[in-house]
Amino acid sequence: MPLTILHQSDRFVVIEKPAGLLSVPGKGPDKADCAASRVRAMFPRATGPLVVHRLDMDTSGLMVFGLDEGAQRELSRQFEDRLVEKAYVALLETIDVDIARSPLAQDSGLVDAPMRVDLDNRPFQIHDPEHGRPAQTRWRVLAREPDRVRVRFEPITGRAHQLRVHASLPAPLCLGAPILGDVLYNPTDHRLARELDETPPRSPRGRLMLHATELSFLAPGTKRREEFTSPPPF
């Protein structure tokens, strides 16, 4: 799983993370390989914690790392203050979706569905309007294909699994069309992954069709807005 450097400066680096690679180390020596550890190996003079944000292991696309403690802190603050602009492309499976009754009948919209972790089924996330944290996602249809819709997502908030949950939960609150290849929230991929009985679970239908395609932030120090794009590999 090659990791591609798109841009590097004295204070930050932007990479393309491949699907299947962790963003940060997991528990145990078998989960030590990750985007953060590879960046640290490539930039041995980097200081500080590096990590600014994360992508799910099965999500590919753009990530930024701070190469010094001040840059990491400044970039992290931008994510917290929602100054970072980011967008994703996903393929949603619609073979069992009544498009006429779905928000996907429109060309764009906003999903507003608070979320929290399912305490009895981690890392699964669920909608909880009472105890969940605010979660909002703008979406726009890019193309309508046989049994699937290509969608651009712009997350306003940054909850774990937010795009995957907002795609899969039933309409009209959410889109009711799970992302293709999602072994957690797409019933077909979940069933196929269980039949394979592999760790980590994977679907024989292919990877999770979710890619971080745009990333824009203020460069540490200069405050100049930097913009990066990465076309989806699907």
Q: Are 211 and 230 in contact (CB under 8 A)?
A: yes
Taking residue 117's Cβ as centre, other Cβ atoms within 10 Å add up to 17
Amino acid at 215: L
pLDDT at 29: 85
pLDDT at 149: 98
As given in the structure block, the two tokens for residue 96 are 């069992």
Task: Pick the closest to residue 232 from 117, 149, 124, 152 (CA basis).
Answer: 152
Q: Are 127 and 136 in contact (CB under 8 A)?
A: no
pLDDT at 80: 96
Residue 63 sits at φ, ψ, to 5 deg, of -140, 150
| Set 10, 30, 56, 197: catalytic member | 56
Answer yes or no: pTM beyond 0.85: yes
pLDDT at 198: 87
Which ranges of the chain have pLDDT less than 50? none
pLDDT at 28: 85
State the DSSP code for 169: S
Residues 147 and 217: their CA atoms lie apart, in Å, by 35
Our answer to whether residue 56 is catalytic in this structure is: yes
